[in-house]
Amino acid sequence: MLILMLMCLWNSLQAQERLFDECFQDATLRLDYAFAGNDSHQEIYLRQAYLTSAWAGRRTNLSQPLLDGNGQIRVLDPVTGDCLYANSFSSLFQEWTATEEASRVQMAFENSFQVGVYEGGGYQSKGVYRPVQECRMKINECERFCPVCSRAIERMIDYYTGR
């Protein structure tokens, strides 16, 4: 019985890692942003986004935040809206908003977050992100479609064929 349970767990982990390989490349988008405001009004400002060389995050349970926090970053499938990646965090700014000082003054706190995506999705050079660097939908010389485009094409075929 124990061996069967271990085999099931191993197969589940393998399937989850395949999801990472299908939806993301081995790279990281670093988002530098600021939380600003006071105890009654908060805003978030994106300061900078840039690509780093490799993904050092988890490759399984991608859509499940590891911890509860007072904030969350999610990457959604643009076709279905399904959550592909989620991570939670707790910011010093959110803790500060509960202080007496936050009722009197406004402040901004800088943060950084890393996500496995690339800028340049939706034929936009900035502000729209995609999961892989190259895709046949974007560059015809590319060998294959990215996972998001592949799923969108499959769903359209299924829709029109009644599957």
Domain assignment of residue 148, yes or no: no
Domain assignment of residue 93, yes or no: yes
CATH number of 38's domain: 2.60.40.3250
Q: Domain residues for 62?
A: 24-133
pTM of the model: 0.56
Structure tokens at 146: 């990215």
Q: Which of left, alpha, beta for 127 (phi over 0: left; psi -120 to 50: alpha)? A: left
Domain assignment of residue 13, yes or no: no
Domain assignment of residue 103, yes or no: yes
Count up the domains in the chain and report the number: 1
pLDDT by residue, tens only, the chain of 163 residues? 444 444 434 444 444 555 677 777 777 878 888 889 999 999 988 888 877 777 777 778 888 887 777 788 888 877 778 888 888 877 888 888 999 999 999 999 888 877 766 656 666 666 666 666 667 766 677 677 776 677 777 878 888 888 7
Contact indicator for 118, 27 with CB cutoff of 8 Å: yes
Looking at residue 33, its amino acid is Y
Domain assignment of residue 141, yes or no: no
Domain assignment of residue 84, yes or no: yes
